[in-house]
Amino acid sequence: MPVRPIVIGRDEEDAKRFGELGTITLGKHIVGTGEDAHLTNTIVMDVARPHVMLVLGKRGQGKSYTLATIAEGVTELPKDIRSNLSVVIIDTMGIFWSMKNPNEKQVELLAAWGLQPKAFDVTVYVPHGHKDFFHKEGIPYDGTYALNPSDLTPEDWALSFELSLIDPTGILLDRVVRKLKESGSYGIDDIIEAVDADRRAEPKVKEALQNRLLSAKEWGLFSSRGTPIEELLQPGKVSIIDTSLFSQLGEGWSVRSLLVGLVARRIYEARIAARRREETELITGTVAKKKIPLTWLMIDEAHQFLPADGRTAATEALLSLVKQGRQPGISCVFATQRPNKLHEDAISQADLVLTHRLTVKADIDALRSIMQTYVLFDITKYLNELPREKGVALVLDDNSERLFTLKVKPRQSWHAGDTPIALRVKEGLV
């Protein structure tokens, strides 16, 4: 008799109603500790309903690997289920493009799991203003993304520029942007001209704001035609937004936060409208032509966008998804190596927590605050009993109030996030 998988992310009613339908393979259950540890039941995770999920762990323990494993799983679902879902990955390190290539370096491991290397049809987007760099370096991409300056609020600009809206420069920014919004679409040059034409601000205040706006033009992020959110939310597809080049900017994380905040807002707005259409379909029996699928938004280094202290241009939008994303059908997966630096609402609202090894006391304390209700022993005991290898993790399922030890399923696509090594491995040598 075959061993039944362990289903996580589902309450008892859904588990009885749907069984394994609408789940993806996350890994296998680890039973025992140390040398006695062995793999048993497959663990599958619900992706049919919205979730807030945390993927935790110190550097190099497999967070990004796990994100890609989840994305692969969604694309492997039956077409009738897959077409109701989309995945958007915020790639801060420029590593998820490798999902386009099969994992030829772990052939034997994949075979042991009954799998084969496979390339996935993901869509990689790079900044509109930096496409020449990617082309020159031979880095594959499928499209570009850009923001329309007229879509940003004065607060978006202020947070990106690290300005206060009650300081002279912030007051000028707020006044100019609000006035421009009355006239419709506009670009950064229009904002600069409006600042210059303002008669109420002092020259040094104007100059300070204009310098920031000129710097923003160099980000390579803006265009009069911003990327429509519908382009990113394709049914059954994985869209990867590569933000790695922004690390070269002094305002790197601020620029990324600006982008993430606007993407999150657009996803929320699109799904709110889609949810109304879906309910109308159920009531009237009609079928709408426009489809915006349920969305999984995956964010690496999430504490940079949704910090425990302070605010970024992404904070409010992400908190809206965390608190209100369930009704419109939006899931969030936040990956971070510093859970103690992540906003408390993201931690408290998470119904799925997958944690690889952690060693910093503050991070373990943050994890303890999540899991203490459901575990018999201190969380440190469970972490210390994890096998000393990459890819192992604890999984807390708040839906069933159970804790599992897991070995994450190996990726079928190439993982570009491995730690580099100076040695070249040759057959029969190293």
Q: 33-86 pLDDT, tens per residue?
A: 766 788 999 999 999 999 999 999 988 888 999 999 999 999 999 999 999 999
Q: Is the pLDDT of residue 375 over 70?
A: no
228 & 347 share domain: yes
**Which residue in 11, 5, 12 sits closest to 352, CA to CA?**
11
Write down which residue in 190, 217, 244 finishes a domain.
Answer: 217
- What are residue 277's phi and psi, to 5 degrees? -65, -40
Looking at residue 428, its pLDDT comes to: 38
Looking at residue 232, its pLDDT comes to: 96
170 & 247 share domain: no
Looking at residue 401, its pLDDT comes to: 84
Q: Is the pLDDT of residue 430 over 70?
A: no
- Mean pLDDT, range 319-323, rounded to an integer: 97
413 occurs within a structural domain: no
Q: Give the range with max mean pLDDT: 141-150, 279-288, 416-425.
A: 141-150
Looking at residue 425, its pLDDT comes to: 52
Write down which residue in 168, 188, 217 finishes a domain.
Answer: 217
- Mean pLDDT, range 243-270, rounded to an integer: 91
272 & 260 share domain: yes
**Which residue in 70, 67, 122, 87 sits closest to 293, CA to CA?**
87
125 & 28 share domain: yes
Directed axis angle between helix 154-161 and helix 203-217, to 10°? 90
Directed axis angle between helix 154-161 and helix 252-284, to 10°? 150
d(CA 57, CA 358): 5
d(CA 270, CA 54): 24
- Mean pLDDT, range 170-194, rounded to an integer: 94
156 & 182 share domain: yes
Angle CA(168)–CA(172)–CA(175) in degrees, nearest 5? Answer: 135
46 & 179 share domain: no
26 & 155 share domain: no
- Mean pLDDT, range 16-45, rounded to an integer: 91
The tally of domains found in the chain comes to: 2
Q: What is the mean pLDDT of the chain?
A: 91
425 occurs within a structural domain: no
- Mean pLDDT, range 257-274, rounded to an integer: 96
pTM of the model: 0.93
- Mean pLDDT, range 420-426, rounded to an integer: 65
**Can you tell me whether residue 371 is helix, strand or coil?**
helix
Q: What's the Cα-to-Cα distance from 414 to each of 58, 178, 336, 368, rounded to whole Å? A: 21, 47, 21, 33
Looking at residue 370, its pLDDT comes to: 74
125 & 184 share domain: no
Write down which residue in 217, 236, 263 finishes a domain.
Answer: 217
Looking at residue 324, its pLDDT comes to: 96
Domain of 326, in residue numbers: 6-102+111-146+223-355+373-408
**Can you tell me whether residue 195 is helix, strand or coil?**
helix
Query: How confident is the model over 200-213, as pLDDT tens digits?
Result: 999 999 999 999 99
Between 40-54, 87-101, 323-337, 408-422, the lowest mean confidence (pLDDT) is in 408-422
243 & 119 share domain: yes
423 occurs within a structural domain: no
Query: How confident is the model over 103-155, as pLDDT tens digits?
Result: 999 999 999 999 999 999 999 999 999 999 888 888 889 999 999 999 999 99
- Mean pLDDT, range 238-256, rounded to an integer: 89
Looking at residue 427, its pLDDT comes to: 43
77 & 188 share domain: no
Query: Which residue reads 């905040």 in tokens?
Result: 261
Looking at residue 69, its pLDDT comes to: 97
Q: What's the Cα-to-Cα distance from 261 to each of 143, 227, 429, rounded to whole Å? A: 20, 14, 49
Question: At 282, which helix (H) or strand (E)?
Answer: helix 252-284
d(CA 22, CA 43): 13
Q: Is the pLDDT of residue 242 over 50?
A: yes
- Mean pLDDT, range 378-386, rounded to an integer: 81
239 & 203 share domain: no
- Mean pLDDT, range 178-192, rounded to an integer: 92
User: What proportion of the chain, given as a percentage, has pLDDT over 70?
Assistant: 95
Q: Is the pLDDT of residue 287 over 80?
A: no
Looking at residue 40, its pLDDT comes to: 92
Q: How confident is the model at residue 238 (pLDDT cuts 50, 70, 90)?
A: very high
* CB contact at 8 A, 47 and 339: no
- Paired strand residues for 335: 55
364 occurs within a structural domain: no
Looking at residue 418, its pLDDT comes to: 77
115 & 48 share domain: yes
- Mean pLDDT, range 263-289, rounded to an integer: 87
**Which residue in 147, 224, 129 sits closest to 186, CA to CA?**
224
* CB contact at 8 A, 13 and 51: no
Tokens at 236, concatenated: 């059954």
Tally of residues, the chain: 430
Q: How confident is the model at residue 257 (pLDDT cuts 50, 70, 90)?
A: very high
Q: Is the pLDDT of residue 25 over 80?
A: yes
- What CATH number did the domain enclosing 384 receive? 3.40.50.300
d(CA 418, CA 4): 33
